[in-house]
Amino acid sequence: MSAAPVAVVTGASRGIGHHLATALEHAGYAVERGSRSVAPVTDGAAVERWVGDIIARHGRIDLLVNNAGVIDAEVSIMESDPDQWWETIEVNLRGPYLMTRTVLPHMLAAGAGRIVNINSGAAYRNHDLATAYNVSKGALARLTAATGLNAVHGVRAFDLAPGVVRTDMTEAMDAHRDRTEWTEPAVVAELLLAIASGELDEWNGRLVRAGVDTPDSLKARAAAGLAESDRTLGLLPWGADDPLT
């Protein structure tokens, strides 16, 4: 059984997941790195076997980082391929759902745990390209908020938007073809480690963004008070007389 805190990171064989898993290892975590060859996150049976093996070897999971994700072609809905569109939803939403659903009972039994979903600003804006990615990330934000309701039992959830880190995926995107400024992986790791340590527990159920937020700025903002809807996905009413307010 592991004396060190145990972190599970999906999609950790390359890109952001690799950077985050390495940062956690350097911080003293026993890290289980997920990949398609280990356990495809969309395969419920494979996820259960993998998580079961981790629990059998370590006896605990303290941190789950749902990082595995893909993006669909940067085309409009009319030009999109239905199979690729749905596969993107499956990886980006069903994957975190299955991982969360499988890991959560162990965290609840321990009375503690944190789940971090790697999200994106695409969840919060309207855009007519790569719509499956945008839809999946918006839905992921709702999953994060719902999972965060388990804070009363000691388990918290967070959306972490990494900005634009230079990876194989982002370099292949038309949207970043001429980009010269990238978010450094160390900045993303700094926020993840702050979340994992409990420093940012007031941000449970909410979004934090690397490259804009820092642990200090987030702690200061939380100390000043957070409204129920701050940094969450929701309906914007037209004013005080909107019957939906």
Please indicate whether residue 133 is annotated as part of the active site.
yes
b/e for 160-194, b at 16 or more Cβ within 10 A?
Answer: bbbbbbbbeebeebeeeeeeeeebebebbbbbbbb
- Tokens encoding 108: 């609840």
Catalytic residue among 97, 124, 133, 219: 133
Confirm if 205 and 145 have CB atoms less than 8 A apart.
yes
Confirm if 49 and 40 have CB atoms less than 8 A apart.
no
Catalytic residue among 29, 97, 124, 137: 137
Taking the CA atoms of residue 136, residue 158, residue 50 and residue 88 in that order, the dihedral angle to the nearest 10 degrees is: 10
E strand or H helix at 157: strand 155-161
Please indicate whether residue 97 is annotated as part of the active site.
no
Residues annotated as catalytic are 133, 137
